[in-house]
Structure 1
Amino acid sequence: MDRAKPLEPVSSVMWPWGHVGAGYLVYTLLRRHTGERPAGAAVLALAVGTQFPDLVDKPLGWTVGLLPGGRSLAHSLLTTAVVAGLVLALARRVHHRMAGRAFLLGVVLHLLGDALYPALRGQTGEVSFLLWPVLPMPEPELAQRFTAHLGAIEPGWQFVFEFLLVTAAIVAWHDDGHPGPGALRHGAARSFVRLRTAVRNRCFCV
């Protein structure tokens, strides 16, 4: 009798929208467990964290060629440990510890998301990027170009799964009171006031 074949995802890694959807769901569940809801600045930091490894590795690996691939430096747990120390120190200095922790949670969840599909296929060698450069990078399944990966999007089970993640995250975000955009507007307004004050002071000095 033939064994059931493991699920074959279209891509071996999670797409950006899947990362942010999974990140928000995990974060809001953790906050609700403590009796609180996600805060604006922390949500923005979380969103950036869920994309951070790709924002570093994809341009430097695929476009510039400074890294050996799109899952190397920022996808390594070794690098993440260093980044964690720097981020937590900076967060304490600027009094945004919650945002710092949310950012790091997003980074860790990104790495777990990229390891999910290879694990489901039983291809443990495909997660060697987690210990790069101690372990070699896995061989890429697609050409290391943005267009090649975008062209590989198909409405398979992976697409549906990540669509459901995003949908659930949007519902949870709505239930949480839409945290994030308000903090962004507040930060932009505060920066504008500081800039205007600096310009006025400079004019008075002249």
Structure 2
Amino acid sequence: MWPWGHLAFGYVCVSALTRVFAGRPPSDREALLVLLATQLPDLVDKPLGWGLDLYATGYGAAHSVLVAGPLLLVVLAYAVRKRSVAALAFVAAYASHPAGDVLSALLDDNPAALSRVLWPVADLPAYGTERGFAERALHYFAAYATELADPTALAALAAYASVFAAVGALWLYDGAPGTGLLRDAERRARRR
């Protein structure tokens, strides 16, 4: 799943969660936590796997329910104890990332879908080609761009775009959370 897919999936999860537990849409702070937490597993594991070769692939400790899972349980316990919707939003957004990776792999009929989140017990097979971090990222992005440019994939592209349009509409319906932080930063910058 691409970063924007993780962000969209995580935002939907957190929007639903804040409505159920707080009776409101996400706050600016919670929206910022969604942005950070949905990307965190890849920001940790991709450089460690692709750049430093600590993992055979880009999936490791930060994606693992065996490693990240217990840490998220600690944050969840804090969220419950302090009644912190922000901490709960962080847990939901972070957990949506490995869940999204597994769901995406299952939709692609990938038999190793669960291996993505079971490091160090299970690991995906190593890549067939050695590439550095930047080269691997560019390789995946070029393959993605080629898929999008394929005229036979227009229906899939329309479905893909409609999902993001729906999430964008939800974000607007929620009051565009996160933009308040940008307005505040702009005001502070103008005062200087």
Partner of 1:54: 42
Matches within 5 A, 1:30-45: 30-34=17-21, 35-45=23-33
Partner of 2:143: 152
* 1:38-63 CA-partner distances (Å, limit 9, x unpaired): 11111110121111111111112112
Q: Which amino acid aligns with 2:173?
A: D
- Which protein shows a greater Rg? 1
1:173 to 160, 171, 174: 171
RMSD: 3.3
Q: Which amino acid aligns with 2:49?
A: G
Change (3 A) 1:65 1:121: closer
- Checking the alignment, whether the CA contact within 8 Å between 1:125 and 1:138 is kept in structure 2 is no
Matches within 5 A, 1:15-164: 15-34=2-21, 35-85=23-73, 87-88=75-76, 97-140=84-127, 145-153=136-144, 154-155=147-148, 156=153, 159-164=157-162
Unaligned segments of structure 1, at least 5 residues: 1-13, 191-195, 197-206
Deviation at 1:76? Answer: 0.7
Q: Which amino acid aligns with 2:32?
A: L
Deviates more, 1:113-122 or 1:170-179: 113-122
Q: Which amino acid aligns with 2:16?
A: L
| Alpha-carbon separation, structure 1, partners of 2:19 and 2:187 | 29
| Alpha-carbon separation, structure 1, partners of 2:2 and 2:119 | 21
Q: Which amino acid aligns with 1:134?
A: V
Deviation at 1:162? Answer: 4.0
- Checking the alignment, whether the CA contact within 8 Å between 2:57 and 2:125 is kept in structure 1 is no
Unaligned segments of structure 2, at least 5 residues: none
| Alpha-carbon separation, structure 2, partners of 1:150 and 1:40 | 30
Deviates more, 1:59-68 or 1:104-113: 59-68
| Alpha-carbon separation, structure 2, partners of 1:33 and 1:185 | 28
Larger RCO (CA within 8 A; separation ≥ 6): 1
